[in-house]
Chains A and B, each alone.
With several copies, the nearest count.
Chain A
Amino acid sequence: MLEDRPWEAVGLTEEEYRRCRELLGREPNHLELGLVGLMWSEHCSYKTSKVHLAKLPNEGPGVLQGPGENAGVIDLGDGLALAFKIESHNHPSAIEPLQGAATGVGGILRDIITMGAHPIAILDSLRFGLLEAPRNRYLFAGVVAGIGWYGNCFGCPTVGGEVYCEPVYDGNPLVNAMCLGLVRTAGIIRGRAEGPGNPVLLAGAPTGRDGIHGASLLASREFDEKAEERRPSVQVGDPFLGKLLLEACLEARDTGLLVGVNDLGAAGLTSACSETASRAGTGIELELDEVPRREPGMTPYEVMLSESQERMLIIARQGGEEVIARIFRRWGLEAKIIGRVTADGMIRVREGGRMVAEVPAAALTREAPVYHRPERAAERPVLDLGALPDLAPSQAGAWLARLMGSANLASREWVYRQYDHLVGVNTALRPGSDAAVLRFKDRPGGVAAAVDGNGRHCWLAPRLGGALAVAEAARNLTVSGARPVALTNCLNFGNPERPEIMWEFREVIEGMAEACRALGTPVTGGNVSFYNETLGQNIYPTPVVGMVGLLDDIAHVTRQGFQSAGDRIILLGRTRDDLGGGEYLKLAHGLVAGPPPGLDLEAEVRVQALCLEAIRAGMVRSAHDCSDGGLAVALAEMAVAGGEGARGLDVDLAAAGGSRLDTLLFGETPSRIVLAVAPAAAEGLLALARRHGVAAVELGVVTDGRVVLRQGGRTLVDEATADLEAAWKGALPCLMAG
């Protein structure tokens, strides 16, 4: 029955087909080949990334669940734990931005729910081509509307994120969503099909023909004109059903009758069954006729591969199925037995009394091929700083305004205003500062979260870029008053069959691993998205780090905005002549050239430790890290975000470092933090900095109304804060209006 080159139709190589035949000990039938093709796709099998992901440190004192489950979990003490995970939905969002982004959010929410956790926050990391192009505006608007639609309706606040626009993301936007959830430590559920004889239930929405072959055809292949023809495979989200599913799952969890839970995402039933069985070392036998369907005439192939949304696979304790079904019915949902756990490690699929597929769960998962793909280091443009004319002092003010209003630095309010960032009544630090903070209702502390990743840095110097992403995420938590604890990551890369991309991939991971070790933040999970290539153009290597941190006391929440005039402004860390890879270099000179700013991990650790200690000691009124746009932009942002009567500053940057004006104002040297402290605390803070071995200089004072930057006797910038604010706030709405 099989055609000439049967492997091609399911995206396998001839070699992989041979391996499949060996594992089965016979020719696979059409359905079996489909299952294998899907599960061995890059998206499901991680066949290319596995060997490198193993280098990320994943253990630490607080880690209750590392990589390999639906989400990582860390211990919060006193019987409470935090589950969190990030995931990409890049290719679906390129085809249908609203539904693609919405179903991405739905998917990550379900990942958290499967752990037995109640989602408490979402963050989103987005990349688009330049917004001057209508297509990119359409994608951006659609993605934001889709994230908002799903998250708002579901009732989980979207509290933070990031957006960058670069030409390399033209036609290949990135949409990464992270979710955090709370779970009682004793109630953590895992995606394991334990206990032969236990019933396997399919709960939630009926199964339709949505997204068939999404995983293998969309996420595991580069983009070309034919992508348009794959359109009917878009999945459609239903956040209303998603919310009902949450409520039913939480209620079912509390019965203690759930043995294992897995969501149905990429590769649908096939993936959920083989993964839960493989994790537990068991098998699953499915009666496909029992699967509730939305459309008549679906083939076993379609039922097994469907990516219909808002579904969960539940392995229940024997005898508990009726109680669970009743709970789901109360919420207007079906939870139906579609199979049983078996002892022999086989995934068996029966339809109409006939066995239609019989494959070892391990063959679909653990025994999938693993590749060490070839790599080749690439040359990247290097900046000759000496040949670059410095910024003229008379232009400093104009360039500050220009940077504040650039697409990559401007206020993200246009985005987060469309997200309900308050539902749940936990949001203690709203979007607009360095990290988001959620308070705990039953204890004094809270949790902070931030997502960071600078693709331009990673393209110019992948290893350094990977480390910088981790350091910046940690710094964003620290300045907000939290101790960085652990992270999840989403690795968005081009086509791994190109040696240059593999080199980027390995380098980024090794850089991240180094930084994770230095900062003591293990990686508890993540996601890899390869094949972000459109018509031969690969995206920048874009790792997105989603980090979580803890606050012992919610009173430690620290904002970037100034609080009272007269507060002293102190810069921690040294400024070097770092212009490479920066926003100013690109805008002012049209250059994307490296290397990006170097990172001294020891200095980074010290400056963060100091900042946190100062915050905990109650010395700090405002804190903000220097990142994109450098020191001048960081200072201006603190003024713009300032409270009444504290929307300005007067500082002298002479002691800040940097031998050039452009690097002093706009250079992006990392490991720098700007603090504002009460006048009486300034001396103490400087002393504390000396004890920590951190360079610290007092720059000036908080004022109101104007941003004044001087150098020695000379005034470099003297701008009305309101004007800078107008440029900063107006930029995105204006760009999006076309």
Chain B
Amino acid sequence: MRWRARVWVTLRAGVLDPQGAATRSALVSLGFTGVQTVRAGKFLELELVAASREEADRQVADMCRRLLANPVTEDFRYELEGCQEG
């Protein structure tokens, strides 16, 4: 079975976000003065083959913990959906 996983990797609360801060000030100077905060993160889309939803789920969680996010500074979250054979 083929699965599509969407993974969000975001900075943990309390970790300074230089990219978010710079983006916010760029937006404000473009005239978007209502922007209060910006937090920047990563968004990854994966396609994988796994025997079952449980198996896919287990694998994606594992990938996030081991590689995709750094636990010192980042949190992760993901969604999984089955996709048609292409």
Contacts and interface: CB of A to CB of B under 8 A. Distances in A.
Nearest to B17: A236
A372 interface: no
A293 to B, nearest CB: 12
Given A294-B16, A295-B14, A236 B73 contact: yes
A236 B11 CA distance: 11
B76 to A, nearest CB: 15
Contacts of A237: 18
A240 B15 contact: no
Contacts of A231: 71-72
A240 B22 CA distance: 9
Contacts of B70: 96
A45 interface: no
B29 interface: yes
> Contact size class for B?
10 to 19
Interface string B53-75: 00000000000000000111100
Contacts of A480: none
A175 to B, nearest CB: 16
A234 interface: yes
Interface string A105-145: 00000000000000000000000000000000000000000
A231 B71 CA distance: 9
Interface in A219-278: 231-232, 234-238, 240-241
Contact of A234 (B17, B29, B72): B72
Contact of B18 (A209, A232, A234, A238): A238
Contacts of A210: 16
Interface string B1-41: 00000000000101111100010000001000000000000
Contacts of B16: 208, 210, 235-236, 238, 294, 308-309
A208 B12 CA distance: 14
Nearest to A310: B18
Contacts of B71: 231
B32 to A, nearest CB: 14
Given A240-B22, A738-B29, A208 B14 contact: yes
Nearest to B15: A236
Contact of A96 (B14, B17, B18, B73): B73
A294 B15 CA distance: 11
B72 A241 contact: no
Contacts of B18: 236-238, 240-241
Chain B, interface SS category: loop
A238 B20 CA distance: 11
B42 to A, nearest CB: 14
A656 interface: no
Contacts of B14: 208-209, 232, 295
A237 B19 CA distance: 11
B72 to A, nearest CB: 5
B73 A234 contact: yes
Nearest to B30: A134
A95 B71 CA distance: 10
Contacts of B72: 95-96, 231, 234
A99 interface: yes
Chain A, interface SS category: loop
Interface in A65-113: 95-96, 99
A436 to B, nearest CB: 29
Contacts of A238: 16, 18
A205 to B, nearest CB: 8
B30 to A, nearest CB: 8
A263 B71 CA distance: 29
A236 B14 CA distance: 10
A102 to B, nearest CB: 11
| Central interface residue in A95, A236, A241, A308, by most chain B CB within 10 Å | A236
A234 B70 CA distance: 12
A429 to B, nearest CB: 32
B3 to A, nearest CB: 21
A210 B13 CA distance: 11
A232 B71 CA distance: 10
A656 to B, nearest CB: 45
A232 B15 CA distance: 8
Contacts of B12: 232
A375 B12 CA distance: 44
Contacts of A96: 70, 72-73
A99 B14 CA distance: 15
Contacts of A209: 14
A246 to B, nearest CB: 16
A173 to B, nearest CB: 15
A99 B73 contact: yes
A235 B18 CA distance: 12
Contacts of B73: 96, 99, 234, 236
Contacts of A234: 15, 72-73
B19 to A, nearest CB: 9
Nearest to B21: A238
Interface in A306-341: 308-309
Interface string A352-377: 00000000000000000000000000
| Central interface residue in B15, B29, B73, by most chain A CB within 10 Å | B15
A458 B13 CA distance: 43
Interface in A162-197: none
| Central interface residue in B14, B16, B17, B70, by most chain A CB within 10 Å | B16
A738 B71 CA distance: 22
Interface in A266-310: 294-295, 308-309
A109 B4 CA distance: 38
A331 to B, nearest CB: 13
Contacts of A232: 12, 14-15
A209 B15 CA distance: 8
B55 to A, nearest CB: 23
A238 B72 CA distance: 17
A730 B27 CA distance: 23
Interface in A687-738: 738
Nearest to A96: B72
A302 to B, nearest CB: 11
A395 B69 CA distance: 47
B65 to A, nearest CB: 13
A208 B13 CA distance: 12
Contacts of B17: 236
A240 B23 CA distance: 13
A99 B73 CA distance: 10
A109 to B, nearest CB: 16
B67 to A, nearest CB: 10
Nearest to B25: A332
Contacts of B29: 738
A241 B73 CA distance: 20
14 contacts: A95-B72, A96-B70, A208-B14, A208-B16, A210-B16, A231-B71, A232-B12, A234-B73, A237-B18, A240-B18, A241-B18, A295-B14, A309-B16, A738-B29
Given A95-B72, A238-B18, 16 more contacts: A96-B70, A96-B72, A96-B73, A99-B73, A209-B14, A232-B12, A232-B14, A232-B15, A234-B72, A236-B16, A236-B18, A240-B18, A240-B22, A241-B18, A308-B16, A738-B29
Nearest 8 pairs of A and B residues by beta carbon:
A238-B18, A236-B16, A96-B72, A231-B72, A209-B14, A234-B72, A236-B15, A738-B29
Interface of A: 95-96, 99, 208-210, 231-232, 234-238, 240-241, 294-295, 308-309, 738
Interface of B: 12, 14-18, 22, 29, 70-73
